[in-house]
Amino acid sequence: MPALTIDNRKIEVPAGTNLLEAARLAGIKIPSLCYLKNVQAIGSCRVCLVEVKGAKTLMPSCVTVAADGMEVQTNSARARKARRTILELILSDHEGDCQTCDRSADCELQAIASDLGIRQITFAGAKSRRMTDASTPALVRDTAKCVSCRRCVTVCGETQGVGAIFPQGRGFKAMIGPAFAQPLSEVVCVQCGQCAAVCPVGAISERDEIARVWEALDDPKKTVVVQTAPAIRAALGECFGYPAGTLVTGKMVTALRQMGFDRVFDTNFTADLTIMEEGTELLTRLKGALVEKKPVALPLFTSCSPGWIRYAEHFWPDILPNISTCKSPQQMFGAVAKTYFAEKIEKRAEDIFVVSVMPCTAKKYESQRPEMYASGERDVDVVLTTRELGRMIKQSGLDFPSLPDGAMDSILGASSGAADIFANTGGVMEAALRTVYEIVTGRPLPFENLHVAPIAGLKGIKEAAVKIEGTVSDWSFLEGVTVKVAVAHGLGNARQLIERIKAGEQYHFVEVMTCPGGCIGGGGQPRLTTDEVRAARIAAIYKEDEGKQIRKSHNNPEVQAIYAQYLHKPLGEKSHHLLHTKYVARERV
Amino acid sequence: MKTTRMHLLMCFGTGCVSSGAEKVRDSLLKELAARELTDAVSIEDMHEARAAGEVAVVQTGCNGFCACGPIMVVYPGGFFYQKLTPEDMPELVEEHVLKGRPVERLMFRHPVTQAVIPHYADIPFFARQNLRVLHNKGRISALSIEEYIGRGGYIATAKALLEMSPQTIIDEVKKSGLRGRGGAGFPTGMKWDFASRSKSEVKYFLCNADEGDPGAFMDRSVLESDPHAVIEGMIIGARAIGAHQGYIYCRAEYPLAIERLTLALGQCRERGLLGKDILGTGFDYDLEIAHGSGAFVCGEETALMRSIEGKRGEPRPRPPFPSDAGLWDKPTVLNNVETLANVPLIIANGAQWFRSVGTEKSPGTKIFALTGKVNNVGLVEVNMGVQLGEIIYDVGGGIPGGKKFKAVQMGGPSGGCIPKEHLNVPVEYESLTQLGAIMGSGGMIVMDEDSCMVDMARFFLEFTQDESCGKCTPCRIGTRRMLEILDRICAGKGEEGDIERLIDLGKTIQDTALCGLGQNAPNPILSNIRYFREEFEEHIRDKKCRAGVCAELVRAPCQNACPAGVDVPGFVSLTGEKRYNEALKLHRERNPFVGVCARVCFHPCEGKCRRSTLDEPLSVRAVKRFLYDQEKTPQLPDSIADGKNGKRKIAIVGAGPAGLSCAYFLARLGYKPTVFESESKPGGMLRQAIPAYRLPREILDREIDMIAGTGVTIKTKKKLGTDFTLPGLKEQGYEAVFIGVGAPQGLSLGMKGEDGQGVVDALGFLKEYNLTGKAKVGEKVVVIGGGNAAVDAARTALRLGAESSTVVYRRTKAEMPAFAEEVEEAEREGVKFEFLAAPLELVRKGEKLTSVKFRTMDLGDFDRTGRRKPVAKGENDFILEADMVVAAIGQKLVPSALFDGMAPKQNEREYLSADPVTGQTSVDWVFAGGDAVSGPSSVVEAIAAGERAAAGIDAYLSGEAHAHWRTYRQSDAFFDPDADPIMGERPTVKLIPVAKRKGSFAEVELTLPCATALAESKRCLRCDYREKGAN
């Protein structure tokens, strides 16, 4: 435990702690822009400079490791002046249209400038290269606002292992973006939006589609339905000042209803539906392999996460047959809303307008894929991120905290606790195991409180083995089989897991979620998602699950109803048409 | 086997090849073959760049003396032949090679004495060098490992691997005190020690051959001429730290270096010097060349390593240092080319030998690429600790074209400049850093008076700004903001406070940037501001670039160089069209004294004339003289009649060039100033100091009368402090005063007995004659000093009947401040000159002066003006007979005699302090200019100061700016921008014969014939010309 002095205060910190974290432990907040704990410490923005006794120049506290006997001044005249100048320089090259920027009041740069009390920019001058890239359905990049902190580069290249954007050019002309200044649409970008999630300013954001929703709501001919993904309810509150991990399901439903949506439905419903289809698919493949001895693509990979799908299409085309053909819950919802629900209310598909609220930017892209027109129309018309929904609620003038709790509408609104946990890493797998195990053995999953502990938490790659004993007659071929499952979140981890599988590691079922932490850490969630925030949101989700009467997807009465009345059986012909899809190998540019 | 009796070493460095070495070689081989002195080989057959036979021709790497190329050195004997042409070869082969008679004609000559220096080693350029790292340069073929081994190569490797342990290698390098030659000067042994202590199976030993400073080519030259020296250094280093793989990071812009390195690596592998089990010792080490793409930042070690890894070359914060985590996060040592080339020498000869030259903290030698405004451009290796001035003047041969040395820039874009006042600095790491420069990798760019320090700063910053990796904020944006400030200063849009902003931001960038590139990027700017702040101020305040470089501040370099700002191309082109009256008026827009300046101006315009790059500068003064001679009645430009101004009382004290100009320009604004002159006639120094043979009195009178005619009253015999006072003027209702009293007091010699008989000061002597027409003169006159007053006094003494007249100056002729043409005429008239002598004692017989004892001087260290200081050379004294000694060693102002109770503030040199733009002094209604402010200076400087004060006084009185003559109007004289320049020689001005000058004060110079003058005016390149609509 190195002991050092920070601003004349003695403090002991764990070995390896950088000065920025050490100062935080001492109750001193050093401003910083490029640093992102557990993601990036590269000392590039120079905002966090401090004076270290004996050092020739000021030292970036984010990359300087605390050492025994170090004497650090975080607020000396020299450090203050340098910090101000650095910030003024950044501001001098920044667009500065704060009032109309979607990060207004939610911008790290603005906050630091405000904290430091910067009222004028001493060194004004020319602005560097300006370029707006709105080539993808999900994201809009505006280099005029970029501060070159490189968080996006690190997240894209290292956390996600995608590498769609990196520094280009030199000097003042250096900018962050795809190679050769191409648009994002032309490179391997999977549109996961993790870049937008870590951007401290408004340089990368989701494509804002609130206006299209208002337009639909204002159109009397449309029946506008909304679905909200499980991860929203644990994060939306943050847009209104609630601490991370506050569940606001009821207020959210009320808000949506007040804003004029004709039905407030739940993506959880189709999450349960997904378990029915995907669980059956897994069992079918296992049967093919074990009984029929057919060459079957195993392990089976989950398919809920559109960023993961696009990543696999670009980087691992040979494993596409292993990916479940199930559409994501969002797309399943769109398909049944414009068919099953439309029939129920005696409307045509084109009269239904489906809005989904997702923690995800890739969902915007997914909804536009050509495979997603099962109803004859585009199944999901508009995808809003959690952040957009937050803004839309503010636009509608609702005082969110004072709203009463509401409940989801039927017939696409009921859900099990298993659906809730789709929001976090390990959740889809756990939900599937809850159902599959019970189908195969007739007994509940033998884990405490139904939670498969080995695959919970924020570890990058997790695995579990479940031995199947006491099968019911249909599934006796699984007697004694140990089902091995693995879970990866963050595409960088997914890559490692795939490489492991290619090297011979055997699993039956693999869950991949694009974003670190799963959907609760999605690219469309309120900023800034740190590991602490992830843990808090996950805890809320588990709470939601545990509070549910029904904890298993196959017990959802509305799911049972749709099979009874409409789909007839999992993997049946109607399911095949509405709920399943196919994938395309793509170039790796 | 044939015996080779003679080796002809031809330099095939880049410089010599571009000056024609290949054609010389072809001719040489032809001549040798014709005499059967060498195998008849065609050029294509020349194997390994060598033609053998009785006489061998060897193509070597760069010899270093690039300014003299193509070069050949002949052994035995070491004869140095320079600037060879193919036509020289028959004579050289016939005479030297065949008959053994060296050809003097093709040898190097001493630049000053013109003596022939036949031997390579005696040429000052080489004599002051100490070739250690470069000991093979120009001696061996870079393509042959045998030749390298033949000169002692790989002995050090064998010793290190067979006889020394890794630790003893490190200890030896530590003891040697070798420091990194890449620029930072970190002790090499220490770096190796750190890496050797790092625990890791895998380590790397790298060479940084990514030389990127503009103007630096040391490393390229070493790699191209002696690649094995670097490889050897790497093998030894790798052994010391325990590395088994290495990379030479070399930029793709050095294809020849890469080619030769590749060849050398192959030769090493074939001979077991690289690869597995080197020399049977069990030590494995192999090397690869990593190609860089020329990013400057990849010279930074962490960026270089990223680049070798195949990633974007960007620095990362340190620690961890590469000795712990470098290439692929393994312990790594990176050394520069020159550092590594020193290693085999240290191992082979020992640390003590290495320390035998250089200084305690900076032992050994250092290679510099000497470039810029210096005669001997080339690659030089000198001992550390040598004086900077020695490199520039002795090795470098001084500044070409008689221009003045300004500064030397060291360390390229990360370095700084060292100005003339620090030429004595020993070249070593610490002393250079103290002056704000750095050793750097060895780029040494010499700058003369034509270099603009603002532009230079901008150039380097533009470079670093372009080469910044863009990772950290201060480097990416901060340097850009600095560049923007410099851009606007150079464009004439500088603002008050810009200098402070540059310093402020520069210091912050130094303190905050991530890597060395960023931290050092502000160095050239801060250094230039430190030493040349006034040039920055001139750009900002006066919108003036004294060097004539900044395009937007300079219309024509001649006009820019003229202190008075005379539109030179304008009046020259009008003269060429015989529009004499217009030309005279145009000249008098900025300077009334056409006739005077046609005689006595030192014409700085000609020094900057662009024509000199084509042939010779335009003879502006001769054209002006011709123009003035065409004047029938005085031609005056427009004035403003202003009744109100005419009623205001303005006093001008001193009717010299400054005072009269001030009066003239005030009159052109409608004022009616009164000039008070202490002497009996107006003219000041023009009349009192300049003899009539240079400036005829009627010319002077005519121009003074012309000024009086504009409404100026001149009152003579009115002396400030005696006949009137400033408070008195105030009482009389004078609203403003201009003080232009000059610096009329001669400085005394400070010798015993100088108040006695026979000793006068030059000004007093000249004044006496010039005002009264007579002055006492001795028979044997000795003038002490080297300025114009000394030469004028010596020539006047001869004219007044002195038997002999001798000027004694303590420095050499080259340092004399007097105009060269005046010195030349003085010599022709019989004035004798003694140089390098200082007076020691006045020898008297009784009261009577009989002789002066002098001490011989030598030039020693450099003084603050960048000239070598005269120092006594032992007690080598000599005596000159003299009955009259004229002291001409300087002038001063004695303000105490002039002012009572209302004295304006003085500067540290005891001249008056005045605002450089308006001439205003600390007393708001008192203005000043000319020698009284600047100290002894030129006529045209005084005229300019008078003009500035006139505008200043007008602004003070009226609160507005009315100086209408400052508005520039482009000449409408014909000019065809697409035509070729009109060719012709600069005319020689005719003088009256020396015989006719004796006892006569008639003007020496004659005017140009009409046709010659008109033709000369057409030689003007019209730099002032701009397309219509262009700026």
The yes-or-no verdict on residue B1031 having pLDDT over 60 is no
Proportion of chain A above pLDDT 70, given as a percent: 100
Q: Are A24 and A48 in contact (CB under 8 A)?
A: no
Give the mean pLDDT of A489-501: 97
Most B-contacting residue of A48, A86, A109 (CB-CB within 10 A), to test interface: A86
Question: Is A278 one of the catalytic residues?
Answer: yes
- Residues from chain A that touch B476, judged by Cβ atoms under 8 A, are 148, 171-172, 174
| Nearest beta carbon to residue B473 from set A86, A169, A171 | A86
B87-141 pLDDT, tens digit per residue, is 999 999 999 999 999 999 999 988 767 789 999 888 888 888 999 999 988 788 8
Task: With CB atoms and an 8 Å threshold, state whether A92 touches B508.
Answer: no
For the segment B949-956, the average pLDDT, to the nearest whole number, is 97
Q: Search chain A and give the residue with CA nearest B508.
A: A82
| Known catalytic residue at A388 | no
Mean of the pLDDT values across residues B888-909?
Answer: 86
**Which residue has tokens 């020289």?**
B88
> Percentage of residues in chain B with pLDDT exceeding 70?
98
Q: Which residue of B has its CA nearest to A146?
A: B473
Please list every residue in chain B whose beta carbon sits closer than 8 Å to the beta carbon of residue A148. Answer: 470-471, 473, 476
Known catalytic residue at A281 = yes
Identity of the residue in A64, A90, A169 whose CB atom sits nearest the CB atom of B470: A169
Q: According to the model, what pLDDT value does residue A370 have?
A: 96
- Please determine, for residue B43, whether its predicted confidence score (pLDDT) is greater than 70: no
DSSP string, B236-295: HHHHHHT--EEEEEEETT-HHHHHHHHHHHHHHHHTTSSEEEETTTTEEEEEEEEEE---
* Across B520-529, average pLDDT: 96
Kindly report the nearest CA distance between residue A158 and chain B, in angstroms: 14
Q: Do A85 and B471 touch (CB under 8 A)?
A: no
C-alpha span between B462 and B481 (Å, rounded): 11
Q: Give the model confidence (pLDDT) of B780-839 as tens digits.
A: 999 999 999 999 999 999 999 999 999 999 999 988 999 988 999 999 999 999 999 999
Q: In the numeric block, which tokens belong to residue B94?
A: 């016939």
The 10s digit of each residue's pLDDT in A259-303 is 999 999 999 999 999 999 999 999 999 999 988 888 899 999 999
- pLDDT for B48 equals 44
Whether residue B466 and residue A125 make contact (CB cut-off 8 A), yes or no, is no
Q: Which of B76-85, B456-465, B897-906, B975-984 has the lowest mean pLDDT?
A: B897-906
All residues of chain A having their beta carbon less than 8 Å from the beta carbon of residue B478 are: 85, 89, 123
- The residue-averaged pLDDT of A324-333 equals 97
Distance CA B237, CA B243 (A): 8
A34 a catalytic residue: no
Minimum CA–CA partner of A33 in chain B: B473
pLDDT at A162 over 60: yes
Q: Is A95 a catalytic residue?
A: no
Question: Residues near A572 by Cβ (< 8 Å), separated by ≥ 6?
Answer: none
Percent of chain B residues topping a pLDDT of 90: 78
CB-CB neighbors (< 8 A) of B514 in chain A: 43-44, 46, 60
- CA nearest to A61 within chain B: B317
Contact A50, A79 (CB under 8 A): yes
- Which residues of chain A are at the B interface, by a Cβ-Cβ cutoff of 8 Å? 42-47, 49, 57-58, 60, 63-65, 78, 81-82, 85-86, 89-90, 92-93, 122-123, 125-126, 148, 150, 166-167, 169-175
Helices and strands of chain B, counted as H and E runs: 39, 32
Question: For A305-316, what is each residue's pLDDT tens digit?
Answer: 999 999 999 999
When CB atoms are compared, the residue of A90, A126, A175 closest to B484 is: A126
The upper half-sphere exposure of residue A322, i.e. CA atoms within 13 Å in the direction of its Cβ, equals 22
User: Which chain B residues touch A63 with a CB distance below 8 Å?
Assistant: 317
Chain A partners within 8 Å of B480 (Cβ): 125-126, 171-172
Could you give phi then psi for residue B696, rounded to 5 degrees?
-60, 140
pLDDT tens digit string along A511-531? Answer: 999 999 999 999 999 999 999
| Predicted confidence (pLDDT) at residue B305 exceeds the cutoff of 80 | yes
Distance from CA of B307 to the nearest CA of A (A): 14
List the single best residue of A50, A85, A158 to mutate versus B (max B Cβ within 10 A).
A85
pTM of the model: 0.91
Confidence of residue B33 (pLDDT cuts 50, 70, 90): confident
User: Which one of A21, A313, A366, A438 is the catalytic residue?
Assistant: A366
Specify the 3-state DSSP secondary structure of B884: strand
- B717 Cβ neighbours under 8 A, 6+ residues apart: B677, B678, B679, B680, B723
What's residue B112's pLDDT? 66
* pLDDT bucket at B57, cuts 50 / 70 / 90: confident
Distance of alpha carbon A136 from alpha carbon A177, whole angstroms: 14
Q: Does pLDDT of B1 surpass 70?
A: no
The residue from A281, A463, A511, A558 that is catalytic is A281
Helices B166-176 and B337-349 sit at what angle, rounded to 10 degrees? 100
The average pLDDT across B436-457 equals 94
Which of the residue ranges A287-296, B183-192, B479-488 would you say has the lowest mean pLDDT? A287-296
pLDDT value at residue B44 = 45
Task: Provide the pLDDT confidence category of residue B13 given band limits of 50, 70 and 90.
Answer: confident
Asked if the model's pLDDT at residue B40 lies above 80, the reply is no
- In the prediction, which pLDDT does B206 show? 98
Rounded distance between C-alpha atoms, residue B5 and residue B505, angstroms: 65
Written as one string, the DSSP assignment of A203-259 is SEEEPP-HHHHHHHHT-TT-EEEEEE-TTTTTTGGGGGTPPTT---HHHHHHHHHHH
Q: With CB atoms and an 8 Å threshold, state whether A170 touches B470.
A: yes
* Smallest CA–CA distance from B488 into chain A, residue: A125
* Three-class SS of A36-93: ECCCECCCCCCCCEEEECCCCCCEECCCCECCCCCEEECCCHHHHHHHHHHHHHHHHC
Alpha-carbon gap: A273 to the closest alpha carbon of chain B (Å): 46
The residues that bridge with A464 in the sheet, in sequence order, are A485
Q: Which two tokens stand for residue B282?
A: 């069990």
CA distance A186 to chain B (A): 21
Nearest to B472 among A44, A65, A93 (CB): A44
The per-residue pLDDT for B50 is: 54
- The per-residue pLDDT for range A49-58, each reduced to its tens digit, is 999 999 999 9
CB atoms inside a 10 Å sphere around CB A399 = 10
Choose the closest CB to B474 out of A42, A89, A125: A89
Is A546 a known active-site residue? no
pLDDT at B402: 81
Interface list for chain B against chain A, based on CB atoms closer than 8 Å? 295, 297, 312, 314, 316-317, 319, 465-474, 476-481, 484, 501, 505, 508, 510-514, 519
The mean pLDDT value of chain A amounts to: 96
In the set A371, A469, A505, A546, the catalytic residue is: A371
| Minimum CA–CA partner of A122 in chain B | B501
User: DSSP for B451-496?
Assistant: --HHHHHHHHHHHHHHH--S-SHIIIIIHHHHHHHHHHHHTT---T
What pLDDT is attached to residue B814?
85
- CA of B482: which chain A residue's CA is closest? A123
Q: How far apart are CA B749 and CA A109, in angstroms?
A: 70
